Amino acid sequence: MILRRPLLSLLSAIAFVIMLGPVVILLGVAFTAGSTLTFPPEGLSLRWFAAALEYRPFIDSLGTSLVVAVLSTAAALALGIPATLALQRGAVPGKAFIENLFMTPIIVPELVLGLALFQQLMVGFNITALGTLVIGHTVLLLPYTVRVVGASLALADPRLEEAARGLGAGPVRTFFSVTVPVMRPGIISATILAFITSLNNVPLSLLLTGPGVATLPVEMLNYVQSSFDPVVAAVSVVLLALSVAVALLTERLVGFNKVFGR
């Protein structure tokens, strides 16, 4: 195959280098025994992972990130699932317009969205930084919830719910016995995708943090402005490993084809 299509093979190799090259450099820097951000590493050591665990602002900001990710994911699901049911099963006027409206947080640059939320919520309504972060991340995650859960619901046959009602099941029993199992792959996928998106978000979180309240990515960005040691690289490797683990879990539980609605 390589001999038959040398140009395609070369382009594929270049693409792999572009995608994986930064990861290899990051791993080398994180496990270096040296004291600076250099590659190749000056020996191998776990000292920077230990240093990251001892740096209190990283631990505190990780707690903030987890709280924001859990609350915003739960809120996005609580809002997105009913909206998806209404769009997929109800006779909603202007359905296409509403669906496009739900996608606007993805289209609008996050810095613009963050500035608008900062002006309206933190300045206008004096909402705390933590509360604004949760609201902002919920707005950002809502399109993912609607899209992924909607994909699962769109693939399901609505006649299953009609059959359940025809056999005497009420609306509540039909919802929990038929609709929820149909949506389960989408709900699981949306939960994982939303949680990781919130945990790794930088542009929106950067504008919505306040004194004593910062997410881990923002705290890492603040750290590299004054320090040049590999501590941030070690934290980045941990976040990378978490993202890979979640991706593998998603594939094992529901499969990427169902996540993207194929």
DSSP letter, residue 103: T
pLDDT by residue, tens only, the chain of 262 residues: 455 667 777 787 788 778 877 778 778 778 887 777 777 777 777 888 888 888 888 888 888 999 999 999 999 999 988 888 887 776 667 677 777 777 777 787 888 888 888 888 888 888 888 889 999 999 989 888 888 888 777 776 666 666 766 666 766 777 767 777 777 888 888 888 888 889 888 888 888 887 778 888 888 888 888 777 788 888 888 888 887 887 777 777 666 555 554 5
**Residue 247, domain member (yes or no):** yes
How far apart CA 31 and CA 230 sit, in angstroms, is 8
How far apart CA 114 and CA 206 sit, in angstroms, is 8
**Residue 222 C-beta-side C-alpha neighbours within 13 Å:** 17
Is residue 161 within 8 A of residue 172, CB to CB? The reply is no
**Residue 20 C-beta-side C-alpha neighbours within 13 Å:** 6
**Residue 30, domain member (yes or no):** no
Total domains present in the chain: 1
**Residue 49, domain member (yes or no):** no
Query: 80: which 2 tokens?
Result: 């997105």
Q: Rounding to the nearest 10 degrees, give the CA dihedral for residues 159, 162, 167, 169.
A: 130
How far apart CA 32 and CA 40 sit, in angstroms, is 8
Instruction: Report the pLDDT value the prediction gives residue 257, as an integer from 0 to 100.
Output: 57
**Residue 195, domain member (yes or no):** yes
**Residue 21, domain member (yes or no):** no
CATH of residue 255's domain is 1.10.3720.10
- What is the identity of the amino acid at 156? A
**Residue 232, domain member (yes or no):** no
pTM: 0.80
**Residue 251, domain member (yes or no):** yes
Residue 154: domain span: 56-226+240-259
CB atoms < 10 A from the CB of 255, how many?
13
Query: 251: which 2 tokens?
Result: 């594939």
Q: Which residues contact 27 (CB under 8 A, 6 or more apart)?
A: 237
Helix axes 180-200, 56-89, angle to 10 degrees: 150
Query: 70: which 2 tokens?
Result: 């859990």
How far apart CA 97 and CA 189 sit, in angstroms, is 25
